[in-house]
Chains A and B, each alone.
Chain A
Amino acid sequence: MLKISKLTVTVDGKTILNGLDLEVGPGEVHAIMGPNGSGKSTLANVIAGREGYPVTGGSVSFLGQDLLSLAPEKRAREGVFLAFQYPVEIPGVANVYLLKEAVNATRQHRGEEKLDAMDFLKLVREKLKLLQMKEEFLYRSVNEGFSGGEKKRNEIFQMAMLEPRLAVLDETDSGLDIDALKIVADGVNAQRSPDRSVILVTHYQRLLDYIVPDRVHVLAGGRIVRSGDKRLALELEAQGYGWVESDPSTVSAA
C-alpha cells in the first residue's frame, strides 16, 4: 500500500525527517508515536502533499505509484486522507458543500457519475450516524466554532465520506473526552477493511486500546528508531522515550 524509503525532509536548512523508512501493507493499522517535535506531523503532511516541506531525499510509493509527484488533490482522489492535527476553520463554506465537492471530485476521478442529491444525502446520513453527529453539523461552516472534540469527530466523518485507501490520523485522539474517543475509535474501526490502511499518530497508548494496531513505531530524530507490536506502546507508556532515543542499537529494529 505505502512504502516510504529513506525519506529526508529539510525545512530552512533544518533536517526534520532524516532517512525515514516505513512500509504499511493493505488493511494494516500502524501507530506512530514519538516525542513532541520529532517529525510526526511533518511525515503526515508530506504524505498529504502540503507545501513547505521540501523532500530532499528518498521516495514514497503509494499503490505502486510515485506519490510525491502528485498534487495534493490528486493524492486525495487516489485515496490518501489526512485527518489534521489542527482541523482548519473555514467560515462561509458549509460542511455539506465541502463534502459534496470532495466526494464528487473523487468519483469523477474514478470515472464514476456524480452522486445526485438524494443518494448524497443518504450517504451523508449513514455516515453521520456512524459518528453520532447531528444533521445540523452539515449546514454549519467547516469547523467554525466547533469544539476541539467536534473538529476531530468531523475529520473522521469526512474520512467516512471519502472512503480512502490510506488514512493518516494525526493526533485525532487529542482533545477528545472518553466518550468521544470511543465514538471516534468505533468510527475508525468500522472503516477497517482489507484494502484500507491506517496510520495513527498519537501520544497516548489509550487510543490503541480501542484501535488495536498491527505495528507500533517510534519516530525520533527524524527516523523510525524502533518498531514492534502493540506491546511497544505499553512499554513507551511506562518508560517514556528516553530509552529508545538513547540506545543506538535499537535503531535498526523493525
Chain B
Amino acid sequence: MSEGAANVAAYVAAQREQAPALPAFGTPSLDASRAQALESLSQLGLPSQRDEDWKYTSTRAITRAAFTPAVAGAPCPREFVSQTTIDGLDAWRLVFADGFWQPELSLLDDLPNGVQISGLGQSLGSEPQRIAALLGSALGQTPHGFIAMNSAFIGDGALIEIAPGTRVDKPIELLFISGCSGEGFLSLPRNLVVMGAGSQAAVIERHVSLADERLLSNSVSELILADNASLNYQSVQQVAPRGFHVGGMFARLGRSARLQATTVTMSGALVRNDALVNLDDEGGFASLDGLYLAFGRSHVDNHTHITHNAPHCVSREHYKGVLGDRGHAVFHGRIVVQPGAQKTDSVQNNQNLLLSADAEVDTKPQLEIYADDVKCAHGATVGQLDETAVFYLMSRGIDRQAARRMLTQAFAADVLNRIELPALRSYLEAQAAQRLSPEQIRESES
C-alpha cells in the first residue's frame, strides 16, 4: 500500500461502514464498482503536490482536517433555499442537503414527456441494473483520489435523462447546499445527465454553503451526449470562505454533439474544478468557458482536459480569472489530439487579471498532438489593470476605485455575456459585481 493510503484510512473505514446502507447495495455490478473505487482510493490516497496535476494546489488543508461523510436526513432550512434562488429563473429544481436529494424542496411539477429528473438514490432503488451500468461510463480512468472517493460512495445526486429528440424548454437547476449536517461534514453527490440523440437541455449545477464553516464537498457529474445532442451546462461554485469544494465534470460526446459548459467560481477557501471532455465521434463541439474570482486567501484551480478522439471536432476554451488580496489561481489546460483525429480545431485561452501584488496565478497549457492535420492555438496572459485606461477614466471625472471596478467588471463581463440564460447571467453579474466591491478592488499597499 502506498503512503497515500494514510490520508484516506478514515474515509475507507467510513465507506466500509456505510456501504450496506447505500442505495442498491447488493446489485453486483454496483457493489463491484464501489469496491473497485474504494481500492483505487486506498491506492491513490488524496492527491498531493507531488502529483503533476496537483503541482500548484496544496490539499494539506483538506487532508489535515478529518471530514465525516454526511448521511441522509440533515434538514435544510426552507428560508435558505428561497434566499439562495436566482431571481426570475423559471426552472425545474432539485435541492440537495449535503448531497442528499430533498424532494419537498424541489420543483418538478409538470415534467413533459421525455424528461426524467429525479434523485439518483431513488432511481438506483427502482432500476439498479440500468442506472449502475450508466454510472462511470463518462469517467474513463480515475484521475485522482477525490474522484475515487466519490465513486466509492455513489449514493445520491441528480439523475437527468432526456429522451431522444426532446427539447427541454426550461432549464434544470441542481442546487447543492453544504453544511446542513453541521461543521466538518463531507458531501459526495454524484450526478448523471444522459442526453438522448438529438435532445437539447440546459442544466445549472450550483454549490453553495449554508454557513461559513469548514466543509468539504466532493462532487462528480457525468454527462453523456448521444449523437446530435446539445447540452448547456453551467456550474457555479459559491463556496463559503472556509469551505472546500472539489468538483469533476466528465463528458462524453457522440457524433455532432454539442456541449457548452461554463464554470463560474465566486468564492471558497479551495475550489478545484476538473473538466474532462471526450470528443468521441466526428463533428463534436465542446466549448468550456470559465470565470474565477480569488480574493482573500482563496485558491481556485481549474483543470481541463479535452481529448479529441475523432476527426472534425471543435473545442474552445476561454477561462478568465480575477485575483486580489492573496488569492491564488491555477489554470491547467490539457488538450490531447489522438492519432487519426484529423481536422481538429482547438483554441484555448486563459487570461488573468491581478489586482494585488500578493495575488498569484499559475497557468499551464499542455498540448499533446498525435495527428498532423490539425489547428490548435493556445494563449495565456497574466496582467494588471491597464493604468492608461484607469487614467483615461479618471480624466473623465471617475474616481480611481470606480475606474478600477469598471475595468475589472469589463474584464470579467465577456465570459458572463456568453451565458445564454438571461436570469442566470444577470444573477452572476450581480454576484460578481458584489465580489468586486471597493474593498476587493482596493490596491494592496506595497
Contacts and interface: CB of A to CB of B under 8 A. Distances in A.
B136 to A, nearest CB: 41
A81 B360 CA distance: 37
A101 B410 contact: no
A105 B392 contact: no
Contact of A73 (B400, B406, B411, B413): B400
Nearest to A94: B410
A46 to B, nearest CB: 12
Interface centre among B387, B393, B413 (most CB of A within 10 A): B393
A115 interface: no
A48 B391 CA distance: 9
Interface centre among A49, A75, A76 (most CB of B within 10 A): A76
A162 interface: yes
A234 interface: no
A97 B398 CA distance: 11
Given A93-B410, A105-B399, A88 B389 contact: yes
Interface centre among B395, B399, B403 (most CB of A within 10 A): B395
Contacts of A84: 392, 395
A48 B395 contact: yes
B407 interface: yes
A112 interface: no
A123 interface: no
A158 B399 CA distance: 17
A142 B395 CA distance: 14
B396 A98 contact: yes
A75 B395 CA distance: 8
B168 interface: no
How big is the B interface, by class? 20 to 34
Interface centre among B397, B399, B407, B409 (most CB of A within 10 A): B397
Given A88-B388, A105-B399, A98 B410 contact: no
Nearest to A52: B387
Interface in B404-419: 406-407, 409-411, 413-414
B410 A73 contact: no
Contacts of A158: 396
B394 interface: yes
Interface string A36-79: 00000000000011110000000000000000000111011100
A90 interface: yes
Given A92-B411, A93-B410, A73 B394 contact: yes
Contacts of A93: 406-407, 410
Given A92-B411, A92-B413, A93-B407, A73 B392 contact: no
A101 B402 contact: yes
A73 B398 contact: yes
A109 B395 contact: no
Interface string B342-375: 0000000000000000000000000000000000
29 contacts: A49-B394, A49-B395, A50-B395, A51-B391, A71-B394, A71-B400, A72-B391, A72-B394, A73-B396, A73-B397, A77-B397, A81-B395, A84-B392, A88-B386, A88-B392, A90-B392, A90-B393, A90-B410, A91-B414, A92-B411, A92-B413, A93-B406, A97-B406, A98-B396, A101-B398, A102-B397, A105-B398, A106-B397, A158-B396
